[in-house]
Chains A and B, each alone.
Chain A
Amino acid sequence: MIARTLPAIDRDNEAYWTWGREGKLAIHRCASCEYFVHPPVPFCPRCESRDVAPQAVSGRGRVVTFTINHKPWVPDLVDPYVLALVAIAEQDDVRLACNIVECAPEAVDFDMEVEVVFEQAEDLWIPLFRPVTA
């Protein structure tokens, strides 16, 4: 597969794209009311606290929706792959764009239970999800 286009890192999204080095999926959470805030911003829209910081979550989630790509948008993009939105197990309205890996595209389904895996790319660790097998 061809190289991934990487995100530009800023103060808010750094944990999300780097904590994978330690095997952790980082999602911002309000210390006051425990609401997960994503995309990350140091403000809680539920209780207005500014005490919001990245926290490791379980890495489990479910496939909310997905699509199987068939079009070779660029040369060498030959095999079908799955783009998905995964809701984290801790809070269903936090949805993460991702690829579903370690799974045939046609085996992906709505509400499928998945878990995070990380793929290193330069100085970043890209969260991907695979089916939960156990």
Chain B
Amino acid sequence: MTRFAEKNTAITGVGLSDVSRGADKSALALTVDAALEAIADAGLTRADIDGIATWPGERADGSGFSPVGCAALQDALRLEVGWYGGGGEAPGQYGAVFNAIGAIAAGLCRNVLIFRTMYEATARKTAYANSLLREGQRQAGPFSWYAPYYTYAAALQQALFFNLYVHKSGIRPEQIGQIAVGQRRNAALNPRAIYKAPITIKDYLASPLIATPLRIYDCDVPIDGAAAIIVSRMDVARTLRNPPIRIEAIGSSMRYRNSWTQLAELDTQAQPKVAEMMWSRTDLKPADVDIAQLYDGFSFHTINWLENFGFCERYGAKDFIDGGQRIALDGELPVNTGGGALSGGRLHAYGAVHEACTQLWGRAGARQVKGDPQICATSTSGGPLAGAMLLVRD
């Protein structure tokens, strides 16, 4: 298994900006905050950073989805790098990490600064109405197949998958609600979370429907913020101040139809083959995993990943999360320990990586999982996009 390039890399530092429902500084300033914190956390300086990566790259469309790209951050920090890359056609948000692994293996760089910046809270207060559609413009590309049908948001496309999942699995609303309720309980112990007030299953069931079966509490919360991580070559990582968090295995495949409408298995989306690839690159098994930071753009993604990572059987998640005990901080598999994107804020899978490292380094304070967790499974997803990583602290 040593032939796999990810095993020669590790996360050596993490950083997080202020995360809020309306920032008092620019998106670039937030990105600088996160980047400098990550660089310092690794025990490095700006001069040590020789690679930069992000996903999906700068999108100057006013949406706040990705307002900062590699070039803007490179110039702000005056970095001198041997490699950089940002782009959306990748295995979800972790595409930036996977590309960095390849760049390190190619000898192009040793310490890569990887970041994700969101400015959606401010964007939605100003011009952007959370709509994928633009009045008066004809829609080109794959989304054109959805455009005429009032498909205003990804929530609608994904609700199609989730409704089929509910139909096939028989999961009940009070079981689905355990994700939102449990993560809110975790968020109450996270000083940097957005929403900390407790919610109950009753609150969940009374919350507004967005598109069946999605309720408002199933949806992540748009924020302004940035997260950054440093991925280093293993020989460098072993000289730095934090115990290396090794990238033990990745799942990056596209062995399925990459289409929002034509995916073969609509109810599981792209996740199964990506998870299968990740497990094929390690001797570790689902039972070895201590904690999980599972993508929660919508709570159903988390439910899907529990099955697709093999923590429970197909359509067994309803029983696994019933009552919420197994996925709680003191449960057999603590999930989304910082509140996730639902309560912590939508840092789009990079908040999850930050929380994974925070837990594996034992820095999580009141929400620290007991027993010195060493192994974390983490994932991204959304329709035909999916990526997975298994992280192991030495």
- B-binding residues in A (CB < 8 A): 1, 4-10, 13, 38-39, 64-71, 73-74, 77, 81, 83-85, 93-99, 110, 121, 126
A83 vs B145: C-alpha distance when bound (angstroms) = 12
Task: Decide yes or no whether B108 CB sits under 8 A from chain A.
Answer: no
Sample (30) of A-B pairs whose CB atoms are under 8 Å apart:
A1-B150, A4-B149, A4-B150, A5-B133, A5-B134, A5-B138, A5-B147, A6-B138, A6-B139, A6-B148, A7-B144, A8-B144, A39-B259, A65-B267, A66-B160, A67-B156, A69-B210, A70-B212, A71-B155, A71-B211, A73-B129, A73-B130, A73-B131, A73-B153, A74-B129, A83-B211, A85-B160, A93-B264, A98-B149, A110-B167
What's the Cα separation between A13 and B138 when bound, in Å?
Answer: 13
Please report the C-alpha to C-alpha distance between residue A93 and residue B145 in the assembled complex, in whole angstroms. 16
Contact partners of A95 in chain B: CB under 8 A:
261-262
Chain B 124-167 interface residues, beta-carbon cutoff 8 Å to A: 129-131, 133-135, 137-140, 142, 144-153, 155-156, 159-164, 167
Question: Which residues of the partner chain B approach A126 to less than 8 Å between Cβ atoms?
Answer: 148
Kindly supply a per-residue 1/0 record for chain B positions 267-301, scoring 1 wherever the CB is within 8 Å of any chain A CB and 0 otherwise.
10000000000000000000000000000000000
Q: Is B208 an interface residue (CB 8 A)?
A: yes
- Asked whether, in the complex, the Cβ of A67 is within 8 Å of the Cβ of B140, the reply is no
Asked whether any CB of chain A lies closer than 8 Å to the CB of B60, the reply is: no
Q: Which residues of B contact A65 (CB under 8 A)?
A: 160-161, 163-164, 167, 266-267
User: Contact at A5–B137, with CB atoms within 8 Å?
Assistant: yes
Q: Does B77 contact A (CB under 8 A)?
A: no
Considering the complex, which residues of chain B in the window 190-241 have a beta carbon less than 8 Å from any beta carbon of chain A?
A: 208-214
Q: Which of A77, A83, A84, A96 has the most CB of B within 10 A?
A: A83
CB <8 Å contact, B149 and A97:
yes
Cβ-defined contact, A7 with B138, below 8 A: yes
Check B131–A7 contact: CB distance below 8 A.
no
Is the pair A67, B145 in contact by a Cβ cutoff of 8 Å? no
Which one of A5, A73, A85 lies within 8 Å of B261 (CB-CB)? A85
> Other than the known A7-B139, A68-B209, what 12 A-B pairs have Cβ atoms closer than 8 Å?
A5-B133, A6-B139, A8-B144, A9-B138, A73-B129, A77-B152, A83-B149, A83-B151, A83-B211, A93-B262, A97-B146, A126-B148
B residues less than 8 Å from A94 (CB atoms): 262
Complex contacts, A85 vs chain B, CB 8 Å: 160, 261, 266
Chain A residues closer than 8 Å to B266, beta-carbon distance: 64-65, 85
Across-interface contacts of A97 in B (CB, < 8 A): 145-146, 149, 151, 261
Contacts of A93 in B (CB 8 A): 262, 264
Complex: how many Å from CA A7 to CA B267?
A: 26
Task: Identify the interface centre among B138, B144, B214: most chain A CB within 10 Å of its CB.
Answer: B144
Report A128 CB to chain B, min CB distance, Å. 8
Known: A7-B144, A39-B145, A64-B164. A69 touches B138 (CB 8 A): no
Q: Mark B322-363, 1 if CB is under 8 A from A, else 0.
A: 000000000000000000000000000000000000000000
Which residue of chain B has its CB nearest to the CB of A124? B148
Residues of A within 8 A of B131 (CB): 73-74
For A13, A66, A69, A85, the residue with the greatest tally of chain B CB atoms inside 10 Å of its CB is A69
B297 CB to closest chain A CB (Å) equals: 16
In the complex, residue of chain A having the shortest beta-carbon distance to the beta carbon of B144: A7
Q: Which residues of A contact B137 (CB under 8 A)?
A: 5
Q: A68 touching B211 by the CB < 8 A rule?
A: yes
* Chain B residues, CB < 8 A from A70: 208-212
Q: Determine the chain A residues whose CB is within 8 A of the CB of B133 once the complex forms.
A: 5
A96 contact set on B, CB distance < 8 A: 145, 261
Give the chain A neighbours of B164 by CB distance below 8 A. 64-65, 110
Q: How far is the CB of A43 from chain B (nearest CB, A)?
A: 14
Establish whether residues A84 and B160, one from each chain, have CB atoms under 8 Å apart when the complex forms.
Answer: yes
Query: Smallest distance from the beta carbon of A78 to chain B beta carbons, Å?
Result: 12
A69 and B211 contact, Cβ closer than 8 Å, known pairs A6-B138, A39-B259, A85-B261: yes
Give A10 to B133 CA distance when docked, in angstroms.
19
How far, in angstroms, from A68 to B259 measured CA to CA in the complex?
21
Which B residues touch A9, using CB under 8 A? 138
A83→B262 contact, CB < 8 A: no
B208 touches A99 (CB 8 A): no
Q: Is the CB of A67 within 8 A of B212?
A: yes
Give Cα A94 to B130, complex, Å.
Answer: 29
Residue of B nearest to A72 (CB): B152
Of all chain B residues, the one with the shortest Cβ separation from A81 is B150
